[in-house]
Amino acid sequence: MSESPTAAAEPKRRFAWVRAAADRVPTRWFAGIATGAFLLATAAFGGLATASPPAPSKLEPGDPHVTAERSLTVQRAVLIDELPDAGVYPEAGERVFAIVADVENEWDRPVSAGAGGIGSSLTVEGIDTDVSAARYDDTTLSPQMQPHVPARIVYAWVVPADAFAAGDEVPVTLYARSVYTGSFVTTGQWWSDPVRDAMVTVEIEDVGAGADAEDADGQG
C-alpha cells in the first residue's frame, strides 16, 4: 500500500522546521557547543596537557642570578646570636639567620632592598618569617638601591635557636618577577608574579655571639 502524500509530507515539514530553527541560532552558539564537547572529551582522557614549568637552574654561592629586576649573588649564610644592626631582635630561644648577598638594581628607578622590594625575590627553605635587610657597610636598614649601583646586603631572619646548625646546607630560592603596571584604581609600577628561577645551596657558618662583626658581614 502506497504512502499517502500527506503522510510523506509530514516528515519533510518537521525537518524543514528544524532547518529553519537552526538557521536562526547564532553561529557562535555552534562554536561554543563544539568547544564544550571538546573539553568534555578532553576531560574524559585526563584533561588538557599543560607544559611543566622549567626546573630552576642550580647555582653555587658566588654565582650571580640576574633578572630584569636585579642581580643578586648569594655569598654566604651565617647563624648569629644577635644582629640588631640588621633590624632583627631575637628573644630567648631564638637566633638570627643571615644571608650575605651582593645586590644590584637592574631597574630604571630606585627600589628598596628589603621586604616588598628586592628582598621579596628570595626565600630560604624552612623560614616563613619576614625578612629584614641592611647594608653591611653602613647598616642602613631597607636601603634604597639606586639603578646599577651595587651594594652588599645582609638579609636577616629571626629563627628558632634549634632550626639550623653549623654545617647545614640550606636551599635558597631565587625568583624572577615581572613588572606590573597599575591602572584604574591603582597606579604606578611594581614587581610581582614571582617564578622560581634558580636555587643556590649554601652551607651555614655559626659565628656564635658575633663578637667579630666582620664575620657576619662576610669579611672575616
pLDDT for 34: 54
Predicted confidence band of residue 43 (pLDDT cuts 50, 70, 90): low
pLDDT for 168: 97
Would you give the DSSP letter of residue 166? Answer: T
Residue 186 has pLDDT above 70, yes or no: no
Q: Is 15 helix (H, G, I), strand (E, B) or coil?
A: helix
Q: Is 194 helix (H, G, I), strand (E, B) or coil?
A: strand
Residue 48 has pLDDT above 70, yes or no: no
Instruction: Calculate mean pLDDT across residues 1-24.
Output: 49
More confident residue, 127 or 10: 127
Summarised one tens digit per residue, pLDDT across range 95-140 is: 999 999 999 999 999 999 999 899 999 999 999 989 999 999 999 9
Lookup: cell for 144: 634604597
Predicted confidence band of residue 198 (pLDDT cuts 50, 70, 90): very high
pLDDT for 73: 98
Share of the chain above pLDDT 70, in %: 68
Summarised one tens digit per residue, pLDDT across range 137-151 is: 999 999 999 999 999
Domains of the chain with bracketed CATH: 5-44 (no CATH), 57-216 (2.60.40)
Regarding pTM above 0.75, the answer is no
pLDDT for 215: 47
Residue 17 has pLDDT above 80, yes or no: no
Predicted confidence band of residue 183 (pLDDT cuts 50, 70, 90): low
Q: Which of 202, 204, 189, 219 is nearest to 68 (CA)?
A: 189
Q: Identify whether the C-beta of residue 161 lies closer than 8 Å to the C-beta of residue 179.
A: no
CA 98 to CA 216: how far, in whole Å?
A: 8
Instruction: Calculate mean pLDDT across residues 27-53.
Output: 54
Q: Identify whether the C-beta of residue 89 lies closer than 8 Å to the C-beta of residue 145.
A: no
CA 142 to CA 88: how far, in whole Å?
A: 12
Residue 14 has pLDDT above 50, yes or no: no
pLDDT for 220: 43
Instruction: Calculate mean pLDDT across residues 196-215.
Output: 82
More confident residue, 157 or 31: 157
